[in-house]
């Protein structure tokens, strides 16, 4: 059966490989067959996060024909913290509903 492996090893760098695996193969078995555990040593960690078509799966998930197995890297910054820092830099009046006020209108409208 044919599957596709996808991994973004760094920002703006995506590795994609089409792979033929036997029926009943698991996600971890597919990574081993492709040689990605040796090519990308960071994938061998216990915190390995995998997904099929954007939905998180376990390494023991059985793959089906046409699946797109995605290997996710860990987040470097908590998204909530990053958003707060961006908001502080922009200021309350430069974002969202308050960005473009009409002349003579009240604040927030």
Q: Cα(41)–Cα(24) distance, rounded to whole angstroms? A: 25
Question: pLDDT tens digit string along 17-26?
Answer: 999 999 999 9
- The pTM score is 0.66
Q: Are 30 and 48 in contact (CB under 8 A)?
A: no
Long-range contacts of 41-49 (CB under 8 A, 24+ apart): 42/73, 43/7, 43/71, 47/74, 49/74
Domain boundaries of the chain, sorted by first residue: 2-72
Question: pLDDT tens digit string along 37-52?
Answer: 888 777 777 777 899 9
Q: What is the CATH number of domain 2-72?
A: 3.10.20.30
């Amino acid at each position: 059966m044919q599957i596709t492996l996808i991994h973004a090893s760094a920002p703006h760098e995506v590795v994609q490989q089409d792979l033929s695996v036997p029926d009943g193969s698991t996600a971890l078995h597919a990574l081993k067959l492709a040689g990605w555990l040796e090519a990308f040593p960071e994938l061998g960690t216990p915190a390995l996060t995998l997904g099929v078509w954007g939905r998180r799966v376990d390494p023991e998930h059985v793959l089906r024909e046409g699946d797109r197995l995605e290997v996710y890297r860990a987040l470097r910054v908590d998204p909530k913290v990053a958003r707060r820092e961006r908001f502080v830099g922009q200021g309350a009046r430069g974002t969202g509903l308050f960005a473009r006020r009409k002349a003579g209108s009240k604040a927030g409208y």
